[in-house]
Structure 1
Amino acid sequence: MKPSKKLALFFSLMPGAGHMYLGLIRQGIQLMLLFFAIMFMSRSFDMDFLEIFLPIIWFYSIFDVRSKSKKEDPLVDADLPLFADVASMKYFSNENLVEKYIAYILILMGVFSMINNFLIPILSKYIDYYYIRYGKSLVISILLISTGIYMIKNKKLKLKSGDKVCNPEE
């Protein structure tokens, strides 16, 4: 039975659900994960600038489901283009670095969540919230900048040492 185009469009209002209805489970989970992770991070860590990506993901989901529901050919459940490059990098899969980075991200998000939900309410009794808010923004900004600089320097070191970072032809 071929899926209904109208139902697919209806389900696409929730990013990822339309893809799942069409049988593209992997793509649906990736879209949902991306959408809700951005929403969680923007709300939990007061990074409102991340919310600019939510309508982009939402519209992508709608238009992608619309175009895929019109196709007569069988649909292939491959990674989304955003995740396809990460999966093709052999240095990630050889050393299980993906799981390691996900673990670091989860630990960091847990620490931020504890700070936001436990430490800040306690400190707000003694320190004006104005200073806490700017201090928290400063710490998060410094962490993001230092992580980016570390990643750039680490990539340059790998390239200088002659290691293959990514070779899509292999």
Structure 2
Amino acid sequence: MRKSSFLTFIFAFIPGAGQMYLGMMKKGVSVMLAFALITAISGFLNMPFFAIVLPVIWFYSFFDTFNIKAMTYEQRLQHEDKFLFNLENIVLKDDWKQILKKRHTLIGGGCIALGIYMLFQNLVNPYMHLIYDYAPWVYRIIHNIPTLIVSIAIIALGIHLVIGNNKKATQPPQDDDFVEYGGHNHE
């Protein structure tokens, strides 16, 4: 089925929409999801350095749309529509649980570092200028409450992952089927 070149061009400007218009739903959804998540992280959590990835995703999506459009309909049907970043294996399998169990100290350390950075960026850095400007501090505290909550949650998760592993490693394994013999009761 032939798709409109004009509509392809219009949809190509929205990351993922061009792929979905051309029938590559999984690829389009994953591109759109990646773009939306990075936008949310950089905006809502006040971490603008993540936004540097947005133009890369946008350009990839734009040019990938025209690469798919250049394929014939038969080639598009033969081309496997799959998620970017292998989302099917992550979502549909339990492998991610094993990865978390094996790498929870590393993930926990990353959570702690990210949380501390977020706290510094949002609670210390903006108030360095208070010597010159006293009025907006109340507004900024209120404005940064979501980031503060997420920061504390990330730090708590990281501490739990790091300390939880150490507690399990130091405790001897317990056998639930073991019953201690109390001896015979002779009266």
TM-score by length of 1: 0.53
**Residue type matched to 1:43 in 2?**
G
- Which structure 1 residue ranges, 5 or more long, are not aligned? 95-115, 117-125, 155-170
Q: Which residue of 1 aligns with 2:28?
A: 28
Q: Which residue of 1 aligns with 2:57?
A: 57
For 1:26-76, what per-residue CA distance to the aligned partner results, in whole angstroms no more than 9, with x for missing partners? 222222222112112211111111111111111110111111111120243
- Which structure 2 residue ranges, 5 or more long, are not aligned? 99-121, 123-134, 166-187
Q: Which residue of 2 aligns with 1:14?
A: 14
CA distance in 1, matches of 2:97, 2:25: 22
Q: Which residue of 2 aligns with 1:98?
A: none
CA distance in 2, matches of 1:84, 1:5: 31
Deviation of the 1:145 alpha carbon? 7.7
CA distance in 2, matches of 1:12, 1:64: 9
CA distance in 2, matches of 1:60, 1:84: 21
Report the number of matched residues: 124
After superposing the two structures, state which structure 1 stretch, 42-51 or 127-136, moved more.
127-136
Q: Which residue of 2 aligns with 1:80?
A: 84
For 1:92, which of 91, 96, 109 is the aligned residue? 96
After superposing the two structures, state which structure 1 stretch, 1-10 or 66-75, moved more.
1-10
Deviation of the 1:92 alpha carbon? 3.2
Corresponding position: 1:128 with 2:130: no
CA distance in 2, matches of 1:11, 1:93: 37
Distance 1:147 1:57, change over 3 A: farther
CA distance in 1, matches of 2:85, 2:9: 21
Q: Which residue of 2 aligns with 1:70?
A: 70
Distance 1:7 1:130, change over 3 A: closer
CA distance in 2, matches of 1:6, 1:14: 14
Query: Per the alignment, in what secondary structure is the counterpart of residue 51 of structure 1?
Result: helix
Preserved CA contact (<8 Å) 1:41 1:47: yes
TM-score by length of 2: 0.49
Give the fraction of aligned pairs with identical amino acids, expressed as a percent: 34
- Greater Rg, structure 1 or structure 2? 2
Q: Considering only aligned residues, what root-mean-square deviation do their CA atoms show, in Å?
A: 4.0
Deviation of the 1:4 alpha carbon? 2.9
Deviation of the 1:89 alpha carbon? 6.0
CA distance in 1, matches of 2:157, 2:55: 26
